[in-house]
């Protein structure tokens, strides 16, 4: 009996240790994002900027540019990491990521329609249009696959998501080809970047991400049950349809908010859950928060790396993540044991 109690307790301690290590990585990535840039800034100036004492030019750079950029990157990385873990859990597909529910395609079409129909490309309006586009696309995919919510692994919902995403992408391409202003606006938005993003929307991003995280963590218990099979989950008292809907809403809030403000950033939602899964296994009560932390650290490190890869300019974080994520995707597809989650 004593040994039986020690095993769960030992696992809990190990999971707490892993979470603490990931939190330390996030802290290191946060500090690196503040330190690294076009000009070297001393630690004292960073502290002055963080405390709001902007008497010097360096402290002003920290307070007005690097700190908001770092906050946006952290929130977006956390959101994409958690959304990716939840997506992989619900679809039981190791290659699933938030774009599968049309988040990226819907957001891009929302931006393209705003510019093409109304000629508006204000920094504040673009993320709002992207968020609405992502929400509408996700709702459309969800309603189209409503009858498949009870199917094993939600295979048809994934197929519908891919199909609708391709359709929305084609419509976006048509608008881009018809209008130069739409092309110019979408070209910079679609690259996926933390640079020159509207800080006024940071608080909206934080609120949406916080709401999405609460839903995701609440959904983790149901995802654990669903991994045993829907019949078993029902026997354990899980309301399957409600669990699916909660997961989809959480994914929409998390991935939609991050994509709306930063543009589509690939591979974070794919790679972060697999990094966390190396330590936490398939217990989504731990996997979701750990994937969120891994996503935050990964995105911030990628953004910091992009600042030093091509001086005197920089590579946008979407490009850096594509360079890092491509080999990881190949490695994942070669690991057959990850086929069934």
- Where in the sequence is the domain holding 218, given as residue range(s)? 77-338
- Note whether residue 45 is domain-resident: no
Residues in the chain with pLDDT values less than 70: 1-8, 145-155, 333, 335-341
What are 249-264's pLDDT values in tens digits?
898 899 989 998 888 8
- Note whether residue 99 is domain-resident: yes
The pLDDT of residue 153: 44
Supply the DSSP string of 48-98, one letter for each residue.
HHHTT---SHHHHHIIIIIHHHHHHHHHHHHHHHHHHHHHHHHHT-TT--G
d(CA 205, CA 251): 14
Instruction: Specify whether the CB–CB gap between 314 and 306 falls below 8 A.
Output: yes
CATH of residue 278's domain is 1.10.3470.10
- SS3 (DSSP) at 209: helix
d(CA 32, CA 234): 47
Q: Dihedral, CA atoms, 142, 148, 149, 155, nearest 10 degrees?
A: -90
Sign of the dihedral through C-alpha 319, 322, 323, 324: positive
- Note whether residue 16 is domain-resident: no
Task: Give the total number of structural domains in the chain.
Answer: 1
The pLDDT of residue 145: 64
Token pair recorded at residue 34:
């503040």
- Note whether residue 37 is domain-resident: no
The pLDDT of residue 7: 56
- Note whether residue 39 is domain-resident: no
- Note whether residue 20 is domain-resident: no
The pLDDT of residue 112: 92
Counting Cβ atoms within 10 Å, is residue 4 exposed (0-12), middle (13-18) or buried (19+)?
A: exposed
The pLDDT of residue 175: 92
What are 286-298's pLDDT values in tens digits?
999 999 999 999 9
Token pair recorded at residue 66:
């690097």
- Note whether residue 96 is domain-resident: yes
Residue 313 DSSP symbol = S
* DSSP H or E segment with residue 23: helix 2-35
Instruction: Specify whether the CB–CB gap between 271 and 328 falls below 8 A.
Output: yes
The pLDDT of residue 228: 82
Closest to 203 in 3D by CA, of 62, 68, 21, 53? 68
The pLDDT of residue 113: 93
- Note whether residue 291 is domain-resident: yes
The pLDDT of residue 155: 61
Whether this prediction's pTM lies above 0.85 is answered by: yes
């Amino acid at each position: 009996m004593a040994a039986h109690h020690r095993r769960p307790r030992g696992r809990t301690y190990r999971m707490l240790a892993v979470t603490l290590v990931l939190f330390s990585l996030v802290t290191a990535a946060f500090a690196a994002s503040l330190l690294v840039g076009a000009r070297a800034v001393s630690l004292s100036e960073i502290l002055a900027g963080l405390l709001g004492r902007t008497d010097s030019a360096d402290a002003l750079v920290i307070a007005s540019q690097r700190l908001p950029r770092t906050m946006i990157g952290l929130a977006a990385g956390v959101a994409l990491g958690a959304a990716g873990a939840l997506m992989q859990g619900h679809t039981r597909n190791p290659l699933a990521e938030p774009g599968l529910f049309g988040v990226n395609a819907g957001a891009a079409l929302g931006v393209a329609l705003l510019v093409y129909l109304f000629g508006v490309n204000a920094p504040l309006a673009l993320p709002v249009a992207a968020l609405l586009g992502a929400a509408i696309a996700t709702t459309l995919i969800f309603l189209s696959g409503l009858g498949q919510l009870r199917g094993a692994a939600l295979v048809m919902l994934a197929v519908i998501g891919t199909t609708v995403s391709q359709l929305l992408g084609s419509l976006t391409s048509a608008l881009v080809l018809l209008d130069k202003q739409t092309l110019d606006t979408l070209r910079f938005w679609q690259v996926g970047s933390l640079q020159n993003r509207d800080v006024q929307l940071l608080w909206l991003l934080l609120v949406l991400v916080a709401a999405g995280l609460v839903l995701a963590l609440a959904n983790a218990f149901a995802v654990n049950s669903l991994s045993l099979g829907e019949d078993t989950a029902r026997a354990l008292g899980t309301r399957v349809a409600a669990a699916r809907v909660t997961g989809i809403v959480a994914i929409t809030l998390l991935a939609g908010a991050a994509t709306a403000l930063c543009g589509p950033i690939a591979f974070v939602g794919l790679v972060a859950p697999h990094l966390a899964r190396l330590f936490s296994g398939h217990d989504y009560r731990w996997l979701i928060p750990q994937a969120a932390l891994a996503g935050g650290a990964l995105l911030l490190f990628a953004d910091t790396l992009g600042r030093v890869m091509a001086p005197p300019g920089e590579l946008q974080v979407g490009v850096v993540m594509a360079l890092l994520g491509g080999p990881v995707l190949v490695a994942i597809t070669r690991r057959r044991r990850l086929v069934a989650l």
